[in-house]
Amino acid sequence: MVFSSITFLFYFLPIVLAIYYIVPNKIKNLVLLIASFIFYAYGEPIYVFLMAFSIASTYILGILIDKYQHTPYKKVFLILSLILSLGLLIYFKYADFIIQNINLWLSQKIDLIHVILPIGISFYTFQMISYLVDVYKGEVKVQKNILKLATYVSLFPQLIAGPIVRYQTIEKELEKREYTIQNFALGVRRFIIGLGKKVLIANVLGELTSIFLASDEKSVLFYWLYAISAMLQIYFDFSGYSDMAIGLGKMFGFTFLENFNYPYVAQSITDFWRRWHISLSTWFRDYVYIPLGGNRVSRLKWIRNILIVWFLTGLWHGAAWNFIIWGLYFGILLIIEKLFLLKYLQKLPKIIGMLYTNFIVMISFIIFNGEGITQIVENIGGLIGIGNVPIFSQESIYYVKSYAITLIIACIGATPILKNTILQEKAKKLQNIAEPIFLFIILLLCTSYIIDGSFNPFLYFRF
């Protein structure tokens, strides 16, 4: 089940909200847990049992780590939990990728397993690992109520595509939550904005990128149109989902941390990764980079630490070499910036830094979306006319005109221009009147688009 579906918007969510607010506080977590399992089972019934097993093992191992907190056994139980959690992730997500590479590099003929990837396994696995590590370090209290732990892991607003919610972020809210009309209204507002970003912008740009990939009439203009559309599509797709997750969290009394902060206004790659997929980058910082020694080691070890983190970041996104290349691409650029480039970038006009960052990011998403090295090289080379492609064609001009409005809206929406304007004192009164009408129109347009049955995938479901 996806948020941008009629089933979710007009059946599942209203029913769950109605039941949730009718029942007493003491069973609200149970309602959320049942709803979350139904939500997950709607798409993958069999893998509900896998998630239930993961939750049960996390609960037991968390209890054991806490029980033996002051003995050497706590490390044994932590290692066991990591082997179990990462073992399941590796099997379901990377088994065939590993076999393919063994066959390729060692000339073997091992049959592929063809295992189906459970939706959201990367997200809920990382949440369970962060919980157990924090219990091990004594940063959070062990949760002895399995219902509350299961609610944390399976919470449907962020279950299948994040953001990665740390246990310590909602630890208190699992025990007691405050419900106000204001917070609920903020949640609805945030959800509708996220839905609009996903359905009205990301989906439309997704159609354009699909048209490009299917076209036999490429041109330099068309390559640039594809590259810009692809980077805007993935931003509005994923940030739109994060907005919806944060909005749903507020409706149910939870406060999730922000996952995006206008990354396309960043003036360096270092700044970009402080703004993009914040929950993932901070997870790798706290649970991989710092334990490896961070930057408090020799320069060679520091470079090693960054490359390990970004190799794993790329691999986390998918079982394919283009994702690994994508991760290492950013890792190398971050090393270069931190060694010398960043101090020069900071002296340049802001617009230069933004152009540099967005060009680098645009190339990265060509790598990210590539179906093999040949296609990646072709799509990057096409930006400068390699391959004897024309500068423009009638087809490319047609699509520029057809999607110009969406692209302009996307470019503006990817910056804080509108937000800063709306927050001006003079605009507040107008905002109070116009915003409900504006949100209703967005919801109406999204509903019409969804009913039409158009292109409607979530890119991050594959992670």
Q: Are the CB atoms for 310 and 331 separated by under 8 Å? A: yes
Q: Which has the closest alpha carbon to 170: 194, 148, 146?
A: 148
Residue 325 burial (10 A CB sphere; 0-12, 13-18, 19+): middle
Instruction: Compute the C-alpha angle 17/440/159, nearest 5°.
Output: 40
For 309, phi then psi, to 5°, come to -60, -45
Q: Enter the DSSP assignment of 319.
A: S
When computed from its CA atoms, the radius of gyration of the chain, rounded to whole angstroms, is 23
Among residues 70, 114, 277, 317, the one annotated as catalytic is 317
Check: CB of residue 88 under 8 Å from CB of residue 50: yes
* Nearest alpha-carbon partner for 249 in 450, 1, 3: 3
Burial class of residue 72 (count of CB atoms within 10 Å of its CB; 0-12, 13-18, 19+) = exposed
Please tell me the distance from the alpha carbon of residue 148 to that of residue 311, in angstroms, as a whole number: 34
387: left (phi over 0), alpha (psi -120 to 50) or beta: left
Measured distance between the N- and C-terminal CA atoms of the chain, rounded to whole angstroms = 16
CA 238 to chain CA centroid, Å, is: 5
Which spans in 145-180 are helix H?
A: 146-154, 167-175
Measured CA to CA, the distance from residue 241 to residue 260 in angstroms comes to 11
Question: What is the C-alpha to C-alpha distance for residues 4 and 7, in angstroms, rounded to an integer?
Answer: 9
User: Any idea what DSSP says for residue 453?
Assistant: T
317 catalytic residue (yes or no): yes
Q: Which residues are catalytic?
A: 317
